[in-house]
Amino acid sequence: MERREVSFEWDEINRGRLAQHRVVPHEAESAVLDKNAVLLELQFEAGEERKSVGMTAAGRILAVVFTLRGDAIRPITAYTAPRRLQKLYIERRGA
């Protein structure tokens, strides 16, 4: 099976939103690509967005809200996951 490279779409806007929560882009990417990440689908009037709850290489559990742009993942924001989402991640990881 051929493995495809995942690409992320970054600009000043989404980097700034992450910075407000003291998250850097490589942390958000790591959390989204976490093999144990929990994916939640969200519906908004503007379109379909997703939230991934995953762990960074440093062990930080992040919630990353993103949308898909073609084959690229465009993070909208990321922040330390609230306790209930951390608990969900830990429960599903152990399953």
Please give the model's pTM, rounded to 2 decimal places.
0.86
Residue 2 lies in a domain: no
Residue 81 lies in a domain: yes
**Predicted confidence band at 1 (pLDDT cuts at 50, 70, 90)?**
very low
Residue 89 lies in a domain: yes
Nearest to 26 by CA among 34, 90, 91, 44: 34
CB-CB neighbours of 63 under 10 Å: 23
What span, in angstroms and rounded, lies between the C-alpha atoms of 94 and 19?
30
Residue 1 lies in a domain: no
Residue 82 lies in a domain: yes
What span, in angstroms and rounded, lies between the C-alpha atoms of 12 and 37?
26
Mapped onto helix, strand or coil, the DSSP state of residue 86 is helix
User: Taking 60 as the threshold, does the pLDDT of residue 27 lie above it?
Assistant: yes
Q: What is the pLDDT of residue 3?
A: 54
Nearest to 61 by CA among 35, 26, 24, 89: 89
Nearest to 14 by CA among 82, 67, 71, 55: 67
Residue 58 lies in a domain: yes
Q: pLDDT for 44-87, tens place per residue?
A: 656 667 889 999 999 999 999 998 888 899 999 999 999 999 99
Structural domain containing residue 36: 7-94
Residue 26 lies in a domain: yes
Query: What's the number of domains the chain is made of?
Result: 1
